């Protein structure tokens, strides 16, 4: 019996654990679905960017690459914002897009993609359209290895629709051990500097969580008594925010960021894109006298960093080696971070973000994964809901909205553990149709929509720049409860403090891992300040 491309690919997907397939099918993918295997699950997203973000959540939950199918050029175009997020956030995805039949490509056919391997660049690690149908399985195996090698990320393969029925040789997956460590002399020099410095600090980037290096990061911080900060706009956590050495999140503005790090003579950034800025100012990268070391697995990060010393390495072996090279410190530990005071209900019983997040924190089990895409409220969320669970916080570190809602669905489907997803109203509307998928698969996700009637983060940034009002930032009249129920997702609503507790009890406390999704729509007051206070 002749082995076809489809047979070989199905075998490869099964052997690499990619039996949950995310996508939105079209005509150029139909032959791929012939004789669909009983042990495969197809997760339908009603728009390609949502399908890809769900795949990303699944990959983050399983720590394996996830498989996504997109529909030709149009589907890839729809998904590119999510591809951008996956690339910047180092999420391993194997993306296959349908292409028109090889016999039609010279005729520029309907749905055909011109230069398909160029379309998703530069936001994929690799992209190809194999020259022969017989090469598709081997190319897919290579793409999987690339996706899973540090720094991990999405890869792309374009497959003409008539390739699936052509003969091909089976391909066996092979192991690639991707951990590598820095030059021993460089680590020794870094350890010597940490032994002699006066006030060290660690900057924790998303790479710490991505490489499961949190225990090693905590051990190093405690051994050298270092203050710990998160890198600006990080898509992950990577250090327990309840730890007494944790100081907060660095602002994405050069001057204020340098001021936060000015007290330290040695700063070691771990798995962080140093530094991510969102607002331009004339401040320095670092204050005079602050020495920067940068440990990361991505050589491109090391290349563009304009200051400091970079060590190209994966984190766990490097941090384990550092722990043997640095001595225990007797320097004073960093000061304990001030915690915000609890807030009470306002005189008119309106819901403030601070009140909502305080109440959420009281009800949130310690083992719940929290997904956030509420730019207006992110600083308040971290101040009032400290994350301590490894892998317990996910957001977009890149800024393309519409990521959080479907990301939470994919993360919940990875292990069927309930996820709590906090969304702004503007963010939720980018991918609201993903609620249908959550309902169809009974994904255990509680969605909490903090509705402040618009893109208030954009308005706050406008105020910082002296632009007020900002046109196009108001959103009124959206009934999220009705939207959710129309997609089959149960929903509830609250707009006063007197019914907030009951609403949160139902959406958080009473729902377990065996229950399906629920959306809680909360009408909250506007956030009036500037974005990124100086």
Q: Active-site residues: which are they? A: 26-27, 29, 48, 71, 278, 399
> What's the CA dihedral at 55, 57, 63, 64 to 10 degrees?
0
Q: Count the Cβ atoms, other than its own, within 10 Å of residue 229.
A: 24
Q: Which has the closest alpha carbon to 145: 58, 88, 64?
A: 64
Task: Determine the Cα–Cα distance for residues 374 and 17; give it in Å rounded to an integer.
Answer: 33
Provide the pairing of β-strand 491-494 with 393-394: unpaired
Residue located via tokens 């001030």: 338
Cα–Cα distances in Å, from 302 out to 8, 49, 188, 274, 288? 39, 30, 19, 9, 21
Residue 135 has a CB neighbour count (10 Å cut-off) of 17
Side-chain half-sphere of 514: how many Cα atoms within 13 Å? 0
Structure tokens at 114: 């011109």
Q: Are 61 and 410 in contact (CB under 8 A)?
A: yes
- Distance of alpha carbon 87 from alpha carbon 91, whole angstroms: 6
Contact at 8 Å (CB) between 200 and 226? Answer: yes
Edge-to-edge strands, sheet with 127-128: 41-44, 20-23, 66-70, 93-99, 155-160, 127-128
Q: What does DSSP assign to residue 508?
A: I
Are residues 274 and 258 in contact, defined by beta-carbon separation less than 8 angstroms? no
The whole-angstrom separation of Cα 114 and Cα 278 is: 34
Place of tokens 């990061």: 217
- Under 8 Å CB-to-CB from 528, ≥6 apart: which residues? none
Tell me the Ramachandran region of residue 422: left when phi exceeds 0, alpha when psi lies from -120 to 50, beta otherwise: beta
Question: What is the token pair recorded at 435?
Answer: 């609620």
């Amino acid at each position: 019996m002749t082995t076809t491309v489809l047979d070989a690919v199905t075998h490869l997907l099964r052997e690499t654990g990619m039996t949950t397939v995310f996508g939105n099918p079209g005509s150029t993918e139909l032959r791929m679905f012939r004789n669909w295997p009983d042990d495969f699950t197809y997760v339908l997203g009603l728009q390609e960017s949502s399908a890809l973000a769900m795949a990303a959540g699944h990959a983050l939950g399983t720590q394996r690459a996830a498989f996504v199918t997109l529909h030709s050029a149009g589907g890839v175009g729809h998904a590119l914002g999510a591809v951008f997020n996956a690339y910047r956030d180092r999420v391993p995805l194997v993306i296959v897009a349908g292409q028109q039949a090889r016999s039609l490509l010279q005729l520029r056919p309907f749905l055909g993609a011109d230069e398909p391997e160029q379309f998703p660049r530069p936001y994929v690690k690799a992209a190809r359209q194999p020259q022969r149908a017989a090469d598709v399985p081997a190319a897919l195996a290579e793409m999987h290895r690339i996706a899973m090698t540090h720094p991990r990320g999405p890869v792309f393969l374009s497959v003409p629709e008539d390739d699936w029925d052509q003969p091909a040789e089976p391909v066996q997956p092979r192991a690639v051990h991707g951990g590598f460590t820095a030059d021993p002399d460089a680590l020794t020099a870094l350890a010597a500097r940490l032994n002699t410095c006066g006030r060290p600090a660690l900057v924790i980037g998303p790479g710490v969580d991505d490489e499961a290096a949190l225990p090693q990061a905590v051990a190093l911080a405690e051994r050298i008594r270092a203050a710990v900060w998160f890198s600006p706009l990080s898509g992950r956590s990577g250090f327990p925010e309840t730890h007494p050495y944790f100081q907060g999140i660095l602002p994405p503005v050069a001057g204020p960021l340098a001021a936060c790090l000015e007290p330290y003579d040695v700063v070691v950034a771990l798995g962080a894109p140093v530094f991510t800025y969102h607002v331009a100012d004339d401040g320095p990268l670092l204050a005079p006298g602050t020495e920067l070391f940068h440990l990361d697995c991505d050589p491109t990060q090391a290349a563009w960093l304009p200051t400091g010393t970079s060590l190209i390495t994966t984190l766990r072996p490097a941090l384990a080696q550092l722990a043997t090279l640095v001595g225990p410190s007797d320097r004073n530990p960093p000061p304990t971070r001030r915690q915000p005071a609890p807030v009470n209900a306002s005189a008119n019983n309106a819901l403030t973000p601070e009140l909502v997040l305080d109440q959420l924190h009281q009800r949130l089990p310690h083992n719940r994964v929290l997904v956030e895409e509420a730019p207006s409220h992110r600083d308040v969320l971290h101040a009032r809901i400290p994350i301590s669970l490894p892998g317990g916080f996910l957001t977009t570190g890149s800024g393309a909205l519409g990521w959080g809602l479907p990301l939470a669905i994919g993360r919940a489907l990875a292990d069927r553990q309930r996820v709590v997803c906090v969304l702004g109203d503007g963010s939720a509307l980018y991918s609201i149709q993903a609620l249908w998928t959550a309902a169809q698969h009974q994904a255990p996700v509680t969605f909490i929509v903090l509705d402040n009637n618009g893109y208030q983060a954009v308005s706050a940034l406008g105020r910082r720049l002296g632009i007020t009002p900002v046109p196009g930032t108001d959103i009124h009249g959206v009934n999220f409860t009705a939207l959710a129920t129309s997609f089959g997702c149960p929903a509830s609503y609250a707009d006063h403090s007197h019914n907030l507790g009951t609403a949160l009890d139902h959406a958080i406390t009473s729902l377990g891992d065996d229950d399906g999704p629920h959306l809680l729509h909360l009408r909250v007051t506007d956030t009036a300040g500037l974005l990124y206070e100086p």
